[in-house]
Amino acid sequence: MDDAERLFRTYHGMLVRYLTRRLGDHDWAEEVAQETFVRALRQDHLTNERAWVFTVANNLVRDDARRDARRRARLALLREETRDDVVEPEPLSLERAQDAALARRAVNALAERDRLALLMREEGLSYEEIAAALHLSVGSIGTTVARARRRLVEQYEALREPRRGSTGHAAS
């Protein structure tokens, strides 16, 4: 197994999951991940490769968001053309779709730094790696992650409350 294959096998899964959770679009996540690994292959040597991979991916997302809509339209067209080649996912139940929507809203309500720190932590990055990727001090990561977790849960529950209240009212 060469270095490129090892890098891909080691980080591709977690990177795509991280990007999917961040972007809410699996295809976009795959695209960013691919570009990240292309750039990684151009590097002669990576000292902190996991932090480097996530840093580059974050930068690509930031740059990608600035591009015009024409590129997205073209990607959508390509996606349509290759639709026959992909396996369709299991249809979401209403409950799961609602759950995913609430989770998305709760995550989006977090501050950018808190959100990225939490998502990277969920992918197993160490505090040092998160600090390197976000250009923060290591000592602040614990507070950042703790705040992100608490706010995420509180936000999620606050979003669920009206639904539960309406359900209870309907039941009574």
Partner 1 sequence: MQHLDDGTIHAWLDGALGTGEAAAVEAHAAACRDCADRVAEARGLIAASSRILTALDDVPAHVVPVERPAAAAAAWAAAPALAAVPAPAAAAPPARWGHRYGRLAAAVAFVLAGTLVITREANRHEVASRREMPRAGNEQRLQRHSAPAPSNAPAAAPQAAPAPPAALGGAARRAEPAPAVKPRVKSFAQEARQQAAAAKKSVAGTNTRALGEAEKPADTSFRTTGVPASSTLAGRPVGEGKSLRLDAVVVTAQSTSATNPPSPPRLLSVDSVERGGISVRRQTYVLQGGSRVVLEVMPAPAVPNDSVAPAAPAAARADSSSAAIHVLRWRGADGTRYTLSGSVSIDELQRVRAALGVK
> What are 96's two structure tokens?
């799961």
From 1, 69, 86, 170, residue interacting with partner 1 (rule: CB under 8 A): 86
What percent of the residues of the chain are helix, what percent strand, and what percent coil, each to the nearest 5? 80, 0, 20
The least CB distance from residue 34 to partner 1, in Å, is 11
Which residue number, 16 or 57, has a Cβ lying nearer to partner 1? 16
Residues binding partner 1: number (CB under 8 A): 60
48 phi and psi, to 5 degrees? Answer: -120, 80
Q: Give the Cα separation of 68 and 64 in Å (integer).
A: 9
From 62, 78, 79, 137, residue interacting with partner 1 (rule: CB under 8 A): 79
The least CB distance from residue 26 to partner 1, in Å, is 4
103 touching partner 1, by CB under 8 A: yes
Which residue number, 55 or 140, has a Cβ lying nearer to partner 1? 140
Q: How far is CA 120 from CA 50, 55, 76, 143, in A?
A: 10, 10, 28, 15
Which residue number, 44 or 88, has a Cβ lying nearer to partner 1? 88
66-104 CB burial, b ≥16 within 10 A, e <16:
eeeeeeeeeeeeeeeeeeeeeeeeeeeeeeeeeeeebbe
Site string for partner 1, 106-145 (x = CB under 8 A): xx----------xx-xxxx-xx------------xxxxxx
Q: Give the Cα separation of 58 and 76 in Å (integer).
A: 22
Query: Which residues sit at the interface with partner 1, rule CB under 8 A?
Result: 9-10, 12-14, 16-17, 20-21, 24-27, 30, 79, 83, 86-90, 92-97, 99-100, 102-104, 106-107, 118-119, 121-124, 126-127, 140-150, 152-153, 156-157, 160-161, 164
